[in-house]
Amino acid sequence: MPLNHDVIGLESPPAEKSWTSRDTLLYALGVGAGQDDPAGELEFTTENTAGVGQRVLPTFAVLAAQAPARRDLGDFDRAMLVHAEQAFELHRPLPPAGTARVTTTVTGIHDKGSGALVVTEARAVDPATSETLVTSRSSVFIRGEGGFGGSRGPATEWKEPARPPDHRVTYRTRPDQALLYRLSGDRNPLHSDPAFAARAGFARPILHGLCTYGVTGRALLHTLAGSDPARFAAMSGRFSAPVFPGESLTVSMWADGENVAFRTTKDDGTVVIDRGTATIRLG
């Protein structure tokens, strides 16, 4: 059964998305905060440290803008779906606990030949004021669903700066990182069930792309934004290769004023997030 193209351009009914202090703390732990230095990121990992107020990692914005219900994309093998791209704009720092009203729109289903690229935009607003909190754009690639004769979609420009990175930061992940991260809501068995992962062509469960994205966001936050979420305005990147829990991630960063280009690689040089961009407000 082909993908449901009728959903393109239709805005979903608004849905309420709430999160608690526990949710934002668990998310921070899930993307490695405090892992190597438990006292180093207490503003993101605790809510009751003397003189330290709880703050929220900017990449949690992606979860805050996820609608509770998924759009009906049709009947396809979920093992063939992988997260392809993720971008967000954070209009103001999120509170440790809060509520947003979320609407989503499938903006395109593009024919990539070997599969289909489904692009979705989401907007999360403050229910009381209608002020936009987060604008998010995500793409998923569904293997085996291409070849329907549609557009390949727009091309994006990204060039690695012609100089060495201004900064290079390495964070390790834990062997059980995916089991911890999945508690933030993504229970896809691709990240926990060996049999399901094998069906998708992997030797063992892989790390969530959004966990890799969150680890990368921490590196950008602490290296370029002085650990201040108020300075972290936007981030985007393309997932280019799987990460297995326990592997280390190195983020290379090129800063040009507020504009940042970045790339995330594994120890063997494999690029796992490519075409990375971020906007970091100058302090």
Which of the following CATH numbers is that of domain 5-280: 3.40.640.10, 3.20.20.10, 3.40.50.2000, 3.10.129.10?
Answer: 3.10.129.10
Q: Where are the beta strands (DSSP E) in the chain?
A: 15-19, 81-90, 98-111, 115-125, 132-143, 167-172, 232-239, 248-256, 259-265, 271-280
Q: What is the pLDDT of residues 187-196, one digit of tens each?
A: 999 999 999 9
Q: What is the pLDDT of residues 175-234, one digit of tens each?
A: 999 999 999 999 999 999 999 999 989 999 999 999 999 999 999 999 999 999 999 999
Round the average pLDDT of the chain to a whole number and report it: 93
Angle at 269 between CA 263 and CA 270, to 5 degrees: 75
The domain segmentation of the chain, as residue ranges, is: 5-280
The catalytic site residues sit at 186, 191
